């Protein structure tokens, strides 16, 4: 008996229905999957907002600085711990002084070197941030930093030297708090008294006595420029070791002070001469101009 031909039409219809069902199932799965990712994203965003709110609430109360000097700082605690881990006794040299007991040359040198727009920003210098980002893109590498004195103060007082994004976010929030609660002069006074100026050396009075055997009030233009020049690397660029980088930076700062009208041409020449005597060198013609060019280029 001959077999009957297969029901091709019915089979075709079943195949089409199967394909339609499969396609529909895929759409349902995709829809459910998309909804799932959306819920995860929303949940993650809500957790981030909650976490940031908690972290903001946990930030220290900077208004306490209105009535009392900090007895210690986060940076001092970090350096003490590092010393103990290295088997050394922590060293702390610090003496608080009011701003009117500090040479105006060193105040001008620090502002010129570290935060020229100090009196024109509210804790974060977005102009400098933009310039730093543009330089990084242009040179395809991380360029100079863009931290203001207020940000540096926030880091020294409350945070640490690590480079995490969390620490930077806290630094920005704290800088804004400092600018909200304290005057510019108060912020500058705090900065000059807590910033690191060598191993275990904190504040301008201790720095002046440690490195030059004088008071903060008696610092010369050249000495002020050297102390300002130390700040990016205060435990490596020590005047006693006479690093070339420090000499170059100090020379640039002196030239900048003259250009900004903070010192006269005569004072600038005398300061450059004192700087050369301190380092035991004779500056080559044009070296200052070349140093300024390098500094502007971010080198």
Each residue's pLDDT, cut to its tens digit, for the chain (299 residues) gives 444 555 545 555 455 545 454 555 555 444 555 566 777 877 777 876 776 677 677 788 899 999 999 999 999 999 999 999 999 999 999 999 999 999 999 999 999 999 999 999 988 887 877 766 665 555 554 444 578 999 999 999 999 888 778 888 889 999 999 999 999 999 999 999 999 999 999 999 999 999 999 999 999 999 999 999 999 999 999 999 999 999 999 999 999 999 999 999 999 999 999 999 999 987 654 445 445 444 444 44
Q: Tokens 């806290």 map to which residue?
A: 170
Contact by Cβ (8 Å): 194, 203: yes
Alpha helical stretches, state H, the chain: 8-57, 74-85, 104-114, 126-139, 149-158, 165-181, 184-194, 204-212, 221-230, 244-259, 265-279, 287-296
Burial, 195: exposed, middle or buried (Cβ in 10 Å; 0-12, 13-18, 19+)?
buried
**Residue ranges of domains in the chain:** 101-296
Alpha-carbon radius of gyration of the chain = 30
The pLDDT value recorded for residue 161 is 81
Query: What's the CATH fold of domain 101-296?
Result: Penicillin binding protein transpeptidase fold (1.10.3810)
User: What CA dihedral angle connects 155, 156, 159 and 161, to 10 degrees?
Assistant: 80
Contact by Cβ (8 Å): 169, 193: no
Distance, in Å, from the CA atom of 62 to the CA atom of 7, rounded to the nearest integer, reads 85
Distance, in Å, from the CA atom of 84 to the CA atom of 111, rounded to the nearest integer, reads 34
Tokens of 187: 């912020």
User: What's the whole-model pTM score?
Assistant: 0.76
């Amino acid at each position: 008996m001959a077999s009957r031909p297969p029901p091709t039409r019915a089979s075709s219809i079943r195949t089409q229905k199967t394909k339609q069902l499969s396609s529909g199932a895929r759409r349902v799965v995709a829809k459910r999957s998309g909804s799932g990712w959306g819920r995860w994203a929303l949940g993650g965003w809500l957790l981030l907002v909650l976490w940031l709110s908690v972290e903001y609430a946990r930030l220290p109360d900077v208004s306490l600085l209105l009535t009392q000097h900090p007895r210690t700082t986060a940076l001092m605690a970090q350096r003490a711990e590092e010393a103990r881990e290295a088997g050394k006794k922590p060293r702390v040299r610090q003496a608080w002084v009011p701003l009117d007991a500090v040479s105006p040359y060193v105040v001008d040198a620090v502002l010129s070197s570290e935060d020229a727009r100090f009196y024109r920003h509210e804790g974060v210098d977005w102009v400098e941030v933009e310039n730093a980002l543009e330089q990084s893109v242009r040179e395809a590498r991380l360029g100079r930093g863009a931290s203001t004195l207020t940000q540096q103060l926030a880091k020294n007082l409350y945070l640490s030297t690590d480079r995490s994004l969390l620490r930077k976010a806290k630094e920005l929030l704290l800088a804004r708090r400092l600018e909200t609660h304290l005057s510019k002069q108060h912020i500058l006074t705090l900065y000059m008294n807590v910033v690191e100026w060598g191993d275990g050396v904190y504040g301008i009075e201790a720095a002046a006595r440690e490195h030059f055997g004088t008071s903060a009030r008696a610092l010369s233009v050249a000495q002020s420029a050297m102390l300002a020049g130390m700040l990016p690397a205060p435990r490596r660029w020590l005047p006693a070791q006479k690093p070339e980088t420090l000499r170059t930076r100090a020379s640039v700062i002196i030239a900048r002070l003259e250009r900004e009208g903070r010192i006269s041409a005569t004072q600038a020449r005398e300061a450059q001469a004192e700087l050369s005597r301190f380092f035991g060198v004779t500056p080559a013609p044009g070296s200052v101009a070349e140093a300024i060019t390098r500094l502007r280029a971010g080198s």
